Amino acid sequence: QSDVRSRPKIDPESIATFILTSGTTGEPKIAMLSHTNLLATLKGIIDRRQRTKIEAQPSSRHCSFLPMAHLYERLVLLNYFLHGDYT
């Protein structure tokens, strides 16, 4: 029986996700992003929300125009979920 409160130890430099580049300047490639990469970007999003005093309310909505395959869109949505905001 597992304890739902326990968390696995994650190496910050281990691969967290793969994204496909568009190949705009050449052949499409697979980019491997670490947990550190994702957390740095997420921290930037959170810092900007705090600096600009952007606070979502239960009546707030987020309109996604980037595809879910786009890393920034994934992290913006993760930021909303982490703060209990709505999408």
Q: What pLDDT shows up at residue 68?
A: 76
Question: Three-state DSSP class for 55?
Answer: coil
Looking up tokens 């190496």 gives 11
The gap from C-alpha 4 to its chain's centroid, in whole angstroms, comes to 23
Confidence of residue 2 (pLDDT cuts 50, 70, 90): low
Strand segments, DSSP code E, in the chain are: 15-20, 30-34
Closest CA to 55 of 13, 83, 27, 20: 83
- Greater confidence (8 vs 12) lies with 12
Give the start-to-end residue ranges of the domains of the chain. Answer: 15-82
Residue 1 in this model has a pLDDT that exceeds 70: no
Q: Does pTM top 0.85 for this prediction?
A: no
Give the model confidence (pLDDT) of 49-64 as tens digits.
788 877 767 677 777 7
